[in-house]
Structure 1
């Protein structure tokens, strides 16, 4: 054992070994004392002088530059920031991070956890279009302190000014804290079942709520990802532009904590402005070892359209693993990216379609390490009726669905009907989950916690039950997602709350939205929202106008859209609004925010 100098923290010798985290049956069983902070302490003790996080800063006028932080430096910053946090917050208080993307954010998040608080990863108030979400999260979490940077301080002060004096948290400026403050840190014993952080949901289908994520859940889920995607090589590194307040973005700073490796980060804005920056960072990592990244559908589509390098650029993606996570995953996004980057040595097996959600910390399932992304075509009418019936790709009612593969080790996933009884494979129902990676509940919401996190499974399937091996007396997470099993693999069809239900029949909005995009060139593909209003009596479509279609007749396009939806779905669309690019609201992770779009429509925002 190694006693860390100057602190009463005992650190186990050596980096964490995956084999030490498995029981006799191969299931995941965290060793005693393994927490997010203990993993970082191991890295400080064993590979302290190596890089932990690298940030590519493209905010200056002269192009990007890299800023690096070693594990030793991270340890000093965690103690220094943590000492200031301890002056303003007591054990178990919430500490929100309202900072721009960067190494200060990483250090601030870990410091809050190390200080014995519950971190609340959020974002600086200048994030366009998300002030309401930030306000909801802050009023819900009621943090004792807020961590920010000098660059964002004024915006944070202005935002907090709307809160009452009694509720206003202390503001701590991360980059104003000297390293010497580390000497004032008061060591804290952290238990594996303590809450590490509150992960606020994206708000796609309802107001954001904070999921209580424990250290056990974090450690278990990181190991589940590593084992499922075969990231056991310690020379595997991460590259991510995902926002650090998002569950997938947080996972990309969690990987190095297990490995003792590093992750290269950049801001979402840097990616959107020039997606080739993401590709260049992946290529640089690919030259020295395996590199893993993650993104939703739109990012791969955007990069295939705007981020393909020129011939002779030297881009090499031969060692890249690309997690694609959306509900549902788009085969078109995968195909367009594969076609664009095959000349740059992108393997056919690079893409890993995956399923996850904040309530499960993040990761639930993915395809095998050596598998290519697979798709099945299903009868649209059968899906509406709750059955996954394969049909040929050229069938007039064929709908493509991408496999999300196999559920992670030590996690169980069943498909249930409205009574909570398990369905046979091929039956479409709600996805329920069980495992140590599941969050503890929703912060301050006992009734919603009971409903969502404490489902009781009814009858199990008589043959091939996916509940086999699960704890019989343990409750299940009701995900609110619909899916099915086919040939042993999990498929996700969409959110229950997003369904368009008309005359007693429910349809998937993304299916209607794809039909709308195919109906007229005026529609910007991927930027369509379908929903119901007036008590589900009327179906409305809002579509952003595609570039270069100013001369396309709007009236004719609207009639073509209505006719296509009636022909393919037997649904009468009551209203079609064609709006400028950027008008449809999206979540902080880039997903369509249909709930917010519906609210904007009802307010008359779209004219």
Structure 2
């Protein structure tokens, strides 16, 4: 059924079967009426006593206190939240979730959807460094209701007081909604093409905007992920510390709903403080059956450094699937993690480099179930000119590109010249355009930008070797803003259109310069470098200090960075700033925020 799949485990009577979501030709097509609320109702009816979500709370105990919700318990809470929302909000109203990570967040999200409102998954204002993003999202989505918890109430109310009175929503405490309030809940008709939730983009290259994700897009993308990653074994469960307001975090609570399985959750803070907690939860899940998780580069690097088991720890990662995505995938992060955990049973095929984007709900491509991560080295100068030309790994101009495998079933990805809308042949770099039922409906409140981004028309598909076969000539395509290429059946993503910079008349990928800076001096904290240009095509580099170098004189590092960038790239560096750890802004998903870095530099923040 899927590439390399071994077996489709039969669904308990009454649950959704993956084969029911496929046409006779094998295309993904949701059965009528399948939405997340309908899937939860099925699970309540047929596996109600089974655990749905488990939250590991490390605020009350260093060892973690496990709090569980069965499917039946989840159904009770979701109906109660939906019933309360129906008394204060109309269908289509936005309902923002400003709550800490936990089971209340899960019930709030599903409750808002069940009520026929549009969920807006955000975060409590105490999340450091992201107040501007929260303010932008609330002013843009204009929710009529905010769902929060008692622990976050004071910060939420203080934050909402900064909004104009006309924008202040009603605040509902989740703990104050009794279970019995859902007893009289009248089912709300939800169409699969209605908007399920607004997924706000990370803000790495522009102010965050809300992507309208429909129920059809959610269901389609979950089935695509299950098929592509070979999660057909129903004894597959999830483990995640990802923020639940992030698209990848939401997918980790979405896919158990398809199966009637369960996910174990923890907070991002719990992971960062002790990454061993993630490994321990994965090991526990691996002993029960297959377990899937997802994280960006930094998580694998951090865990390889700080999350290795102590001598004598019984860690078993034999049945783990690890998705790595969210930014250009680093082979260095993969290698470090594999070396750290191969002695604990981690299979060579466990790590799955993947590509995703909020505008496509999330999942776009991944490597085959039986494939090991692979890297292709291409000539940097040719790549900047738009061609992927393989070279030896030790070539002076070699840059590494990690394969992101193959595109999901019933999704098309074409490499397109963004200026002419013509499809480009394999080996040529262009903008990735997507077509499929998992693509969102548009940007909330931005009709012109939605038309340009979500309703692009391909002008000239290739006569042979096209990646658009089967798509109608007049079909809409999503312009992703991501650059990539195909080679030998594999998809590669090279960077963002908006991130590329002009230096001395050359178009340069900033991540290539940033990698050089990280290699130039041990004072540079690897993975915490930004490169951008200021007016006049002048190149500026900001690098955080590595651990243990706070008292070191930066002059030697400044000279080394300038010299190495000149040697490897032939570029003149206008300015280098060595800043304390944590100074460079990052998005809520952990990406480098180059736009924010540029703004801080111009404001003199690092003078």
Give the TM interval when normalised to the shorter protein: over 0.9
Secondary structure in 2 matching 1:90 = coil
5 Å-filtered alignment, 1:130-141, equals 130-141=130-141
Q: Is the 8 A contact 1:241 1:278 kept in 2?
A: yes
Q: Is the 8 A contact 1:80 1:184 kept in 2?
A: no
Query: Counterpart of 1:349?
Result: 349
- Larger mean Cα displacement after TM superposition, 239-248 or 560-569: 560-569
5 Å-filtered alignment, 1:383-402, equals 383-402=383-402
Q: Is the 8 A contact 2:50 2:70 kept in 1?
A: yes
2:164 and 2:13 map into 1 onto residues whose CA distance is 48
Q: Residues 232-266 of structure 1, C-alpha deviation per residue, up to 9 Å, x if partnerless?
A: 01100000000000000000000111010000000
5 Å-filtered alignment, 1:42-81, equals 42-81=42-81
1:502 and 1:475 map into 2 onto residues whose CA distance is 35
Query: Counterpart of 1:507?
Result: 508
Q: Is 1:489 the counterpart of 2:512 in the alignment?
A: no
Change (3 A) 1:343 1:493: same
Give the drift of 1:328.
1.1
Q: Is 1:24 the counterpart of 2:55 in the alignment?
A: no
Give the drift of 1:426.
0.3
- Larger mean Cα displacement after TM superposition, 12-21 or 274-283: 12-21
Give the drift of 1:451.
1.1
Query: Counterpart of 1:518?
Result: 519
5 Å-filtered alignment, 1:279-318, equals 279-318=279-318
Q: Is the 8 A contact 2:530 2:592 kept in 1?
A: yes
Change (3 A) 1:399 1:112: same
Query: Counterpart of 1:3?
Result: none
2:65 and 2:302 map into 1 onto residues whose CA distance is 24
1:370 and 1:380 map into 2 onto residues whose CA distance is 30
Query: Counterpart of 1:240?
Result: 240
- Larger mean Cα displacement after TM superposition, 561-570 or 346-355: 561-570
Q: Is the 8 A contact 1:228 1:369 kept in 2?
A: yes
1:144 and 1:68 map into 2 onto residues whose CA distance is 30
Give the drift of 1:63.
3.5
1:105 and 1:202 map into 2 onto residues whose CA distance is 19
Give the drift of 1:13.
6.5
TM norm structure 1: 0.97
Q: Is the 8 A contact 1:94 1:117 kept in 2?
A: yes
Secondary structure in 1 matching 2:203 = coil
Query: Counterpart of 1:320?
Result: 320
1:165 and 1:431 map into 2 onto residues whose CA distance is 42
Q: Is the 8 A contact 1:240 1:265 kept in 2?
A: yes
Query: Counterpart of 2:461?
Result: 460
Q: Is 1:91 the counterpart of 2:106 in the alignment?
A: no
Query: Counterpart of 2:8?
Result: none
Q: Is the 8 A contact 1:327 1:495 kept in 2?
A: no
Change (3 A) 1:194 1:435: same
Give the drift of 1:471.
2.6
Q: Which runs of 5+ in 1 are unaligned?
A: 1-11
Query: Counterpart of 2:335?
Result: 335
Give the drift of 1:458.
1.4
Q: Is the 8 A contact 2:297 2:327 kept in 1?
A: no
Query: Counterpart of 2:528?
Result: 527
Query: Counterpart of 1:359?
Result: 359
Give the drift of 1:551.
5.1
Number of matched pairs: 595
Query: Counterpart of 2:9?
Result: none
Q: Residues 419-455 of structure 1, C-alpha deviation per residue, up to 9 Å, x if partnerless?
A: 1101110000100000000000000000110111111
5 Å-filtered alignment, 1:380-459, equals 380-417=380-417, 418-459=419-460
Q: Is the 8 A contact 2:297 2:330 kept in 1?
A: yes
Query: Counterpart of 1:548?
Result: 548
2:550 and 2:44 map into 1 onto residues whose CA distance is 58
1:166 and 1:315 map into 2 onto residues whose CA distance is 54
2:594 and 2:440 map into 1 onto residues whose CA distance is 25
TM norm structure 2: 0.97
Q: Is 1:100 the counterpart of 2:122 in the alignment?
A: no
Secondary structure in 1 matching 2:162 = coil
Give the drift of 1:567.
1.2
Q: Is 1:474 the counterpart of 2:468 in the alignment?
A: no
Q: Is 1:193 the counterpart of 2:193 in the alignment?
A: yes
Query: Counterpart of 1:565?
Result: 565
5 Å-filtered alignment, 1:269-284, equals 269-284=269-284
Give the drift of 1:330.
0.2
Q: Is the 8 A contact 1:327 1:492 kept in 2?
A: no
2:311 and 2:289 map into 1 onto residues whose CA distance is 23
Give the drift of 1:462.
2.5
Q: Is 1:174 the counterpart of 2:168 in the alignment?
A: no
Q: Residues 446-478 of structure 1, C-alpha deviation per residue, up to 9 Å, x if partnerless?
A: 011011111110111232100111232211000
Query: Counterpart of 2:221?
Result: 221
Give the drift of 1:62.
4.8
Moved over 4 A (4+): none
Q: Is the 8 A contact 2:234 2:261 kept in 1?
A: yes
Query: Counterpart of 2:586?
Result: 586
1:201 and 1:579 map into 2 onto residues whose CA distance is 27
Secondary structure in 2 matching 1:100 = coil
Q: Residues 508-533 of structure 1, C-alpha deviation per residue, up to 9 Å, x if partnerless?
A: 11110000011111100000000011
- Provide the alpha-carbon RMSD of the alignment: 1.1
Secondary structure in 1 matching 2:595 = helix
Give the drift of 1:61.
4.8
1:319 and 1:576 map into 2 onto residues whose CA distance is 45
Change (3 A) 1:302 1:580: same
1:269 and 1:390 map into 2 onto residues whose CA distance is 41
Q: Is the 8 A contact 2:55 2:265 kept in 1?
A: yes
- Larger mean Cα displacement after TM superposition, 497-506 or 169-178: 497-506
Secondary structure in 1 matching 2:87 = helix
1:360 and 1:302 map into 2 onto residues whose CA distance is 28
2:448 and 2:567 map into 1 onto residues whose CA distance is 43
Q: Residues 13-62 of structure 1, C-alpha deviation per residue, up to 9 Å, x if partnerless?
A: 61100101101110001111111111111111110110000000001255
Q: Residues 170-221 of structure 1, C-alpha deviation per residue, up to 9 Å, x if partnerless?
A: 0000012111111242320111111000000010000000000000000000
1:553 and 1:389 map into 2 onto residues whose CA distance is 40
Q: Is 1:163 the counterpart of 2:163 in the alignment?
A: yes
1:308 and 1:500 map into 2 onto residues whose CA distance is 38
Secondary structure in 2 matching 1:166 = helix
Query: Counterpart of 1:9?
Result: none
Q: Which runs of 5+ in 2 are unaligned?
A: 1-11
